[in-house]
Each structure stands twice: as C-alpha cells, then as structure tokens.
Chain A
Amino acid sequence: MTLVTQSVMRERFYETAAELVDRHDRIAVVIAEIGGSALLGAKRRHPDRVINVGIREQLMVGVASGLALAGFRPIAHSYAPFIVERPFEMLKLDLGHQDAGAILVSVGASYDSAASGRTHEAPEDVALVAALPGWRIFVPGHPDEADLMLRAAASDNDRVYLRLCEQSNSQARPIQPGRFHVERRGRDATVVAVGPLLDPVLEATADLDVTVLYATTVRPFDHQAVRSATSTRDVVLVEPYLAGTSSAEVNEALVDTPHRLLALGVRNVEHRKYGTWHEHNAAHGLDAPGIRARVLSFLAA
C-alpha cells in the first residue's frame, strides 16, 4: 500500500483556501496563528478577508460568526483540539445558536501529532461536533476528496466541520458529499469504513465476503446506505476517532431490524504514549491486522 505523505491534505487545503479567497469575494479565512505562513500570500492580496487573530481560538470562532452575520462565508482553521475543544461553547452559541454558517477545517486528527502528546490529540472531535445540531461533518480519506469537500462547503452556507488527517488511502474514490460510497458488496456482513481507514479495512477484509461502505460524510449519517447494504445484519463500524461515535446512527438506521454491531475506533483512554500515528493505530487496533482480528472474532461469535 502506498502511503500518501501526511502533509498533503493540509497543504492542499492552504492552496485551495487561497484560491477560494482569490475567486470569491464572500470567502474569508480566519486563523489563530496556525497556517499563518502558508496563507501569507493570500493575506497580502486580501488583508481584509484573511484574518489572523493570534493565539485566540475563542475569538477565531466569534470572528467567524460575525463575518457570517455580515454576509461572508468564513473558513476557520486550526488543530483539532484548538478549533473544537477549546472554543466548544463558541461552536454551540456563536455559530449554532446564532444560526451562522462557517466551515471549520482541522488538522491534527486524533493522534496525528502523537509526538506532541495528549495536548495536541483530539480523537473526541467528531463526537463533540456531532453532539451539536445542524453540523455537517466531513472525514475525507484522500487529499482529492478533502479538496472536493472544501469546495462543496464553500459554495453553501451550512455549518461544516472538515477533518483533515495525515493518514490517507492510496486512491481517492468518486465520493458525493452526504452519501456513502459502496466500495464492494458481500453477503456475510457490512463494514462501514470511515475516511482514512478504508485502506486498512480493505486489507483486513480482502478474503471476506462482506459489503464495504466508505463513509466520508458522517453527519448527516447515510442511514439509507446502511439499510440497503446490510443483508446479514452484522455491522462493523470502523472510525478513526473515538470508538462508537456513530454507533447510535447505525442503530437508528437499523431500528426495525435485528442486528449486531461491532464499533471499532480510538479507545477512550489516557494513552500517554508519543511516537507516530502508525504506532497509535496499531495500539488501538486500527491497523489492518488489528481490524482483521476483531472482525473475525465478531463474525465467529
């Protein structure tokens, strides 16, 4: 499997954000230092619409809200812990309660910054944003998909959380925002692979007769895809963030159908390890061998 280098999604984001600011007068970018150098050219060209508020993440979200209320389409950007967790009440009130639209773009997914330790890890991010009403949550698994999703978000007025990551699948899929992609069909189970975990899931299930659904939009959750793809009523959910984040969504999709659900993801523990995301994936059983072992055990039970 070819690993796309980690920084690709992030660098593509900066390029596309700058292009969007150039091309559309209503686009504004708000950052809190992170990304400042990459967006320097865009800031020089559009000093009124590329705004660096310094290390002030609460203000970053407040400013995004104000820009939206003044008619702009703001893109706010930082590391996941600093754009979701630290200003969480601003997401709830400055954006949600005002009914103001914005695109929040994070980097540092789960343990992408593992060497930096817990302060820079946020595997809770999707669960937190999903706890708020009205958010669309995109978890692309390839830089091309991330680019497509950013452009789609830029053209509407919703509240969008776009979660960029270092891990990438080897190939982009022909995704449609809002829909799961049917990667392959099988008879024994349905596996929902989210974002960058598609490749490990495909490797783990290569010899198994299972349906594999590829989820890049996780809110709203594509209930219809799960309902129509599930024949055996054994479902495995493989998420690159907190385990079980979408379990209730699967259960809601199958509310009138007896089913079993195995939810794989990042365990809710203080892990206290540094290193790389590869090592953390292995520790949480989210590499191909780990996924395979638990899928086989589940299906055999």
Chain B
Amino acid sequence: MNPMIPLFVAAPLAGAFLIMILGKFFKNLNKYIASLTLLFLIVFSILLLIETGKDILVYKIGGWEPVGGIPIGIYLVADGFNTIVLCIINFIGLLSVIYSISYISKYTSENYFYSLFCLMIAGMNGVVLSGDLFNIFVFLEISAIASYALVAYGVGIAELEATFKYQVLGGIASLLILLGISFIYWQAKTLNIADIRLSLRPEDNRSLYILVQLLLLTGFGLKAAITPFHSWLPDAHSSAPTPISAMLSGVLIKAAGIYVIMRLFFNMFIISEEIAILITCLGAISIITGSFLMIGQWDVKRLLAYSSISQIGYILMAAGICMILLFKGGKTEIAVLALAGGLFHMINHAAFKSLLFLTAGSIEYRTGTRDLREMGGLASAMPLTYSTSFIGSLSISGIPPFNGFFSKLIIIIAAIMGHFYLLALIAVIASIITLAAFLKYQRYAFHNKKSDAKVEKHDAPFPMAFSLIVLSIMCLLLSIIAIPHVRELLLTPAINVLMNPNLYTIPILGM
C-alpha cells in the first residue's frame, strides 16, 4: 500500500482548484502552481517506474479488504505497463505547460486554461491507474469534458464548430462504453478487471461475449481515432491552441484510447481469433487512410493531425500481430518482439508528435498564419525552430539515428518473421509517403523564398525554446531503447504483465 499512488489523482485536482481561488487575488501565480504540480508528479512517476520493475503495486482505497475472496471497493493498480504511460503523460504535460507560459499570453482569462489543463491531467492519470471498469469510465469523462472546453478556448469560428463535432461524437462513444459495462455487469456481477477475467467465460454465453467486445472496441476506438471513427480528429486537433494540440495528439489518444484497448483485450478478455484479425485489419486500414489523406493538405496542423491517425495504426497493428501469434501458440519470441515494437512506437510517437506540433505553433506565433502557401524563407529568420522541426520530421519518417527508425524497424521485422508479408508492405509504403509529406512541409515552410527582402532574426521566446530543445534531445536519447539490454530493463515488465494475465490477476485478488 504505497502512499504515492492516490496522489497522482489528488495532486492535480488540488492544483486545479487552488489555481481558481488564488488566481483571482494574485495575477501571476497560476503558471507557477501548474508547473510545480507537474514537476512534483514527474518525480513521483519516475520513482514509481523504478519500483514496479520487480512486482505489481495494488492500492485499495479506503482500506476495504476482500470479503470471502471477492474484491469489493475501488482498486488502483500500478504495474510495468501503467508506469510507462504515466511517465509519458506527466513529462509531455510539463513541457506543454512551460510552452504555454508565453503562448497563452495572447489569449484572455488564463486562470481557466491552467485549471482545465490540470483537470485533464488528473483525469488521464486516473484512467491509467484504475483497476476496475467503472472508474475508467468516470475518469475518461473528466478528461474528455476538460478537453472539450480547451479545444474551444480561443472562441473563434473554426474552434466552435470543431468542438461541437468532437463533443457529439465523444458523447456517443461514452454511451457505447457505458452500455458495454452494463452488459458485463449483468453477466459477471462484478466490476473488477482481474475478477472479470475469472468469472466471465465465453462458454456461458458466446453471443454476449462477442457483443461486449465489439461495443468496447467501438467506444474506445472512437476515443483513439481509429478508422472508420477518425472524422473528428483533423478538425479538433488543428483548431485547438497549440499546447493543447500537442497534449491531445501526443497523450490523450494514447492514454484514453490505445492503453485501455490493450489492457482490456490482453488482460480481461480471452483472446479469440476473429477479434485479433479484426484489430489487425483496423490498424492496417488506419495506416493507409492516414497517410493518403495527409499529402494533399495545405494547413500545417491538419497535416500533422492526419499523420497521427496513421501512426496510431502502427501501434494497433503491432498489438494485433501479437494477439494472432499468441492465439496460434508456439512462436512466443516473435509475439514479444511485435509487442515491444508497439510499446516503443507509443513512447516515440508522444515525443516526436508533440515536438512537431510545438514547432508549428512557434511558426504560427511569429508569422500569424498556418497555410503552407503563405509561408517561406523562415530558415534564416528562425534557426532554432528550423533545426528542431527538421529533427522532428526526420524522426517521424524513420531515418536513423533518430528514434522513429528503430521502432518502425522492429514492427516490420516482427511482421516479416511472422509471415505477414502484406502488413509489412503496407508499413513500408506508409513510411515512404510520410517522408514525402514531411519533405513538402520543410520545403514550403522554411526554404521557399518568396521575395528578396532581408528577414531579420525573430525566433521563439525562451519558454517555448526550452520545450523545443528538451523534446529534440529526447528524440535522440530514446533510440537507446533499441539496444537489447536497455529494452529488457524498460519494456520487459510491461510485456510480461500483458502476455501472462496470471501475473496481473494473482497479486490483485488478495493472495
């Protein structure tokens, strides 16, 4: 019963309400409270990452012990997979808050921004740490409602239309998730994830099992922007203010979408062949859709938003390959390789997608436009933004020695070794198309000189530059995870707890 675990939810909540109270009396205090809270959370998440390398930590809220072997009460569970996602959330959150110190000064009423941001972080931490189904739903709603308000922050015409579309589709997704949870409760009479694995068997009622799996896949797939549920993502992520775009695209679609899908389908449901093939096909179609729709865009942030769809497809396809190989039995080394590639790509995508969005925001801050046909010749005027966005473009296209190359290579090797030649071909073609689109972005934004007038150096202010430099250093450093020793140290606890569900259920059910 580690006392650090509930502080991940309580500390950002306290920070959010404290910002609202103190922000009315002292004008400048809101930024410092937000950054201090997130700094505090990062230190705790790194400590937790080191501690869960050996075993799983379970926290029972209120101290309610199981009665007769049945877990009652709310459980918070921290294992190897959770703590990686926690580190991603809090780290990218801290860098976004530091970036927004100078970016949000162009808008009014900054109190609401920092307070809603801390609420969104509290909700995401709760989704990741929760050990039973209904709490996932409640915390998912907290972070979703905070993000609806943040997308509409600067109340212009485009933001309001984007947030209306996002809200209606997100509301339908939450209702489908609630319907799936109520069907599970009807059959199994319990809500704990570890307990549902033992009590919900497909032999009792086969059609109900398939119905529940499809409902939860649809609901969480809408939150994770998988094709065919991706239509809200380009509008919402391009119209939001830039630090919120970086948070939404880099963290929220992973913590509230892909993380929950992997947790439920590996640890709660018994793997069946049709669902595994369905997940792999959805991942492959997302890769194709995202990359083909990305090339023709002239708006910078819309281009980056469409490429998010394609990269999330990579992660889902890797998870699907691992499930198919686990179901057929036998070659577990290839399944471990595929899942390691998927998790590594999740960490990498958070880093380079946030970097790309923040550099696009820095361009918008100085030139006031987002259209590629109106920019040009910025390479000499903004050298720091030019070099960091060049590093980001190389990372996402998969050029060594940056981190995108290694994670895509691991996924493609795992697909070829498992005899999925078509999927490997799709992954390679999408990578080439991504390279083409990002070369277009670099040429039109930075190299295309329109006039011969002298452009003076007018680069990003210090808080924005700090976030850009730290993220580009992380893009280089994260390629260390490809070395087998470091990969085993970091990713093996996560892979173990996902592939052997007994490692997850036995410590929770009070043995």
- Say whether A associates with B: no
